[in-house]
Amino acid sequence: MALCLSPIPDAVYQPFATVSGTFVSVPIPCEPIDEYPCPACLTLALQTSDRLYYLTADNADIQTQLEAIEYQLSLTTNITGSVSGTPYTEESYEYIRVQAVDTNSAPLRLPSICDEWNVWYESFQSFGPINYNAVIKYRLATDTMINGQRYVQLAYDNSPYMEGALREGTNADIYYVPSGSTHEYLLYAFNAQVGDTITNLYVGAMGKEEGYQAVVRAISDSNPRIFTVGVNIDEYTEYPVEWIEGVGSPESPCGLAVVPPSPADVGTYNLLCAYNNGEQVYVSKLGEKNGCEYNYNPDSTPSDTIPLYIKDGPGSSTIEPVDPNEIIAQLVHDELQMKEYLHTIIDYNLTKAPAANSSPAVKHVNPVVAADSFTDSETVTLTESGRYFLEMSHPDWDYTIVGTFVYNARQGLETIENSQSACTKEFREGQLLIRQGEQLYTPTGILIQ
């Protein structure tokens, strides 16, 4: 039930003031008139050392904050703080038209999930000449009341806009109301068991208005546990999503950026680190590699886009290029990075051509370097120089996607083969040098002649 607030009369207000005291729930001020009894509801007031101020507000955000304080009073008996606004007197009661409010009580936090997340956002437009990549910092912010229940708002960076609002149930179940909506979804259920059916599930943006039905397919033995949940996208499609116990989605605290098969190209989100009460409690593989702040300068990281083509079958031509809005592959230093924007599972197979000095009498088969499946993105670290062949497929495709590239491993000192002449020492102008054949090296291996 919404908090009862007295109407604000047309009155001459006193100058702006700030007063401190204790928040209390009291009957709404009222003087009964004949057959019109006073309403049986409570309002919020601030008790100072010498007077009681009834609080009123005509600003929706302030009303929400007052409702949150009133809800907190149902859980505790002592909330102190201050309000700023314009005092006025009506009949025998003193009021303050509140324009700012501050409490000394701690904001609402949820026991079963973190309160801060660093997320690496990679915009689709970043594959062009302008870099839009950024670290987005989500946090649990101020309390709010929605449909008579207390939530904590999910904010990001220093933006005044809210991503949504979260609350926790009685069984490590986290509920979510997206920004601009009043519908409450189940976001995570960290005490669910394998085989449990879940309804009204929020998976991510652009999902079903009524939520999804899903089944818990697997729970890992790791710490934290990883829940694999099969989401019924439609009557024919089950899409796997993951929950990290106590953390949330591997993408962001409020799930996927886009629910498949939505066609939107909004870029990719990847969780780096998560925190609770200022302490880091989780770091992803990407966070281990690049840090929680993703200390990375794209201008200093050379990358080559690998041309990808559609291959219809044996003997077919490979001249039709793949749409980079759907799949892209890049060679970044010693990593092959693959990204897909179809929001589906891609199978890939990476092989390497045999060395050039291999015996021509033997028929060689390209050795497999890596073979697996991925959704969103995948990274393969390369260690050997050579020509590589990449092939990607999907069970529903009647074609494959192929690409070829050459990788040159970064070299250290030049390797000296045993077949070469022996090394001898020489002194020139007091400097020790190493001679091998016609070449001179410093003791550290630098060629000077």
Which of 35-44, 54-63, 183-192: highest mean pLDDT?
183-192
Q: What is the pLDDT of residue 302?
A: 56
* 8 part of a folded domain: no
Would you say residue 184 lies in a domain? yes
Q: What is the pLDDT of residue 363?
A: 47
- In this structure, the answer to whether residues 293 and 156 fall within a common structural domain is yes
Could you tell me how far CA 106 lies from the centroid of its own chain? 25
The whole-number pLDDT of residue 303 equals 61
> Binning pLDDT at 50, 70 and 90, where does residue 219 land?
very high
User: What's the DSSP call for residue 68?
Assistant: H
Mean pLDDT confidence for 174-181:
91
Q: How confident is the model at residue 206 (pLDDT cuts 50, 70, 90)?
A: confident
Residue 37, domain extent:
17-103
Residues 285 and 310 in one domain: no
Is the pLDDT at 120 greater than 80, yes or no? Answer: yes
Most confident segment among 165-174, 298-307, 312-321: 165-174
pLDDT tens digits for range 378-402: 999 998 888 899 999 998 898 899 9
Q: Where are the beta strands (DSSP E) in 284-322?
A: 303-305, 309-311, 320-321
Do 137 and 266 reside in the same domain of the chain?
A: yes
Q: In the prediction, which pLDDT does 420 show?
A: 40
Same domain for 125 and 231? yes
pLDDT confidence of 294, banded at 50, 70, 90?
A: confident
Q: Distances from the Cα of 323 to the Cαs of 216, 254, 306, 318, 340, in angstroms?
A: 34, 29, 12, 14, 11
Please compute the mean of the pLDDT values over residues 259-275 and round it to a whole number: 78
Mean pLDDT of 221-246: 93
Do residues 137 and 161 share a domain?
Answer: yes
Would the pLDDT of 220 be above 50? yes
- Per-residue pLDDT at 447: 59
25 and 73 assigned to the same domain:
yes
Q: What mean pLDDT is predicted for residues 136-145?
A: 86
The whole-number pLDDT of residue 198 equals 96
Q: Is residue 111 part of a domain?
A: no
Domain C-terminal end among 49, 80, 103: 103
Tell me the pTM.
Answer: 0.54
Residue 193's pLDDT is 97
Instruction: Please tell me whether residues 166 and 311 are part of one structural domain.
Output: no
Boundary (domain end) residue, out of 80, 103, 126: 103
Grade residue 443 by pLDDT with cuts at 50, 70 and 90: very low
Whether residue 2 lies inside any domain: the answer is no
Instruction: Tell whether 136 and 262 lie within a shared domain.
Output: yes
Answer yes or no: is 7 within a domain.
no
**pLDDT recorded at residue 258:** 76
What does the pLDDT average to over 41-68?
A: 88
Residue 167: the pLDDT is 92
Within this chain, do residues 177 and 278 fall inside the same structural domain, yes or no?
A: yes
Say whether both 435 and 360 belong to one domain: no
Q: Which of 216, 147, 214, 156 is nearest to 184 (CA)?
A: 147
Quick check: is 109 in a domain? no
Same domain for 286 and 329?
Answer: no
Q: Torsions phi, psi of 4, nearest 5?
A: -80, 130
What are the DSSP calls for 332-364, one per residue? ETTEEEEEESS-S-EEEEEEEPPPTTS-TTS--
Are 278 and 202 found together in one domain? Answer: yes
Mean pLDDT of the chain: 80
pLDDT of 177 over the 90 cut: yes
Closest alpha carbon to 106 in 166, 152, 44: 152
Which among 238, 272, 300 is the end of a domain? 300
Q: Which residue has the higher pLDDT, 433 or 388?
A: 388
Assigned domain for 34 exists: yes
CATH of the domain at 76: 2.40.50
How many domains, the chain?
4
| CATH code of 393's domain | 2.60.40.3080
